Amino acid sequence: MSNGKRAFKPQLVLLGTCWALHGISNLLLVSVIVLSGHMIAENKAFAALPVALQWSGNAIMAAPASFYMRRFGRRVGFWTAGLIIGTGASLAILALYQGQFIWLCVGGFLIGTGNAFNWYYRFAAAEVVPDHYKSRAISFVLAGGVVAALIGPSLADFSKDLLAPINFAGAFAAMIVANAISATILLFIRIPQPQAEELRGGRPIGQIARQPAFIVAVVGGAAAYGVMVLMMSVTPLAMMLHKHTFSDATFVIQWHVLGMYVPSFFTGHLIRKLGTLNIMLVGTVMIVVCIVVGYDGTSLTHFWVALATLGVGWNFLFIGATTLLTETYSVSERAKTQAFNEAVIFTTVGVSTFFSGTLLHEVGWRAVNLAALPAIVIVASAILWLMVRGAGKPSNAGAEPRT
């Protein structure tokens, strides 16, 4: 390993560990929040509202989080995230003890606003490495999600009754602990502080957004995450409605998260060898396979194969889109470009999550699968369009060097 790699590798390991803890926290949330909503909501059609508000909070805070970290640095931003998430999880526990659905909604919203900061871990990874290593750095840090996949389901199963007789409250308590550990690890991470050139200049966001590569990156990221959450967020409830156990649901979610993050060990390498757009296109194909399998049946095997395939498709499409986005802005344009991208992605996610609960309640699991198809057709068409145009070279001539 070269001296350069020795310099930044420990930082990537620590960032990946924090991402793993974020993944554990999120997996705990996914495992219990819809079930918690279904348990205490008077109108069961609104069972997914807390998770929809979570993603809405993510969308609302996505842009402010970017500018906040531009001003105070990544580490302070991630500490702020842990504080907000801990507050939201505490309110969720209060909601379950009092049977107050409104507090679960508020708690979900706060957790989402905290999570908005944590999604910048992938950009932080790109900022501590040389340009040629960006795709691998993004993949390496996101690979920390494998730890979440291996630990999260067992922790969810163990912690859901930890504060018995109140079901699921213990899982929210475990979220608080995971974020506290992450905050401690952040003490040892050295992420470059914002420089003077980041606080001024650059092209207007409208000019940046007109780049074909930027358009495909944003559409790809929004479709990847919107479709993934549309299906994943209601999977535990869908499985319970089709007579599967909570352990079956956590098993399926575990394989879904493994599908999301195990490919990260080689996705960056594949992008360098085969090209960003080709990997993104493979991701859309994998998601179509997921939709076909999910539509075909509701056995444990159908849920398992569909959600695992969905995870792999998300990985290729989302990491590809993130890598493509980093090629479209300069140092001074980084905060506003990332803010715009995250706001679009998580607005899409919030809308798709809200409708997922309604679709499942009113029509059924097959309708949730069919609803995902148009977005994937759109993003696949956008990728092919960019390929025809000349494979996504950014039009930022004259801008400062990217980082």
Q: Are 12 and 129 in contact (CB under 8 A)?
A: yes
What would the mean pLDDT of 315-326 be, rounded to a whole number? 93
Assigned token pair, 84: 């907000």
List, in order, residues 6 or more apart from 146 with CB less than 8 Å away: 20, 258, 261, 262, 264, 265
Over residues 143-174, the pLDDT tens digits come to 888 888 788 777 887 887 788 788 888 999 99
CB atoms within 10 A of CB 15: 27
Write the Ramachandran bin of 275: left for phi over 0, alpha for psi from -120 to 50, otherwise beta.
left
3-class secondary-structure state, position 195: coil
Residue in 56, 340, 57 with CA at minimum distance from that of residue 218: 340
Residue in 316, 35, 293, 72 with CA at minimum distance from that of residue 160: 35
Q: Which residue has the tokens 């979570």?
A: 54
Q: Are 111 and 350 in contact (CB under 8 A)?
A: no
Residue 107 CB-density burial (10 A; 0-12 exposed, 13-18 middle, 19+ buried)? buried
Residue in 14, 66, 9, 102 with CA at minimum distance from that of residue 343: 66
Residue 402 CB-density burial (10 A; 0-12 exposed, 13-18 middle, 19+ buried)? middle
Q: What are phi and psi of 121, to 5 degrees?
A: -55, -40
Q: Are 40 and 95 in contact (CB under 8 A)?
A: yes
Q: Are 113 and 58 in contact (CB under 8 A)?
A: yes
What would the mean pLDDT of 327-333 be, rounded to a whole number? 86
Over residues 220-231, the pLDDT tens digits come to 999 999 999 889
Q: Which residue has the tokens 């905290």?
A: 114
Distances, alpha carbon 282 to alpha carbons 75, 216, 239, 276, 376, in Å:
34, 15, 28, 10, 11
What would the mean pLDDT of 203-212 be, rounded to a whole number? 92
List, in order, residues 6 or more apart from 283 with CB less than 8 Å away: 224, 312, 313, 314, 315, 316, 317, 318, 320
3-class secondary-structure state, position 150: helix
Output the DSSP codes for 213-224. HHHHHHHHHHHH
What would the mean pLDDT of 121-139 be, rounded to a whole number? 82
Residue 180 clears pLDDT 50, i.e. is over it? yes
Q: Which residue has the higher pLDDT, 133 or 13?
A: 13
Over residues 85-120, the pLDDT tens digits come to 999 999 999 999 999 999 999 999 999 999 999 988
Assigned token pair, 171: 């899982």
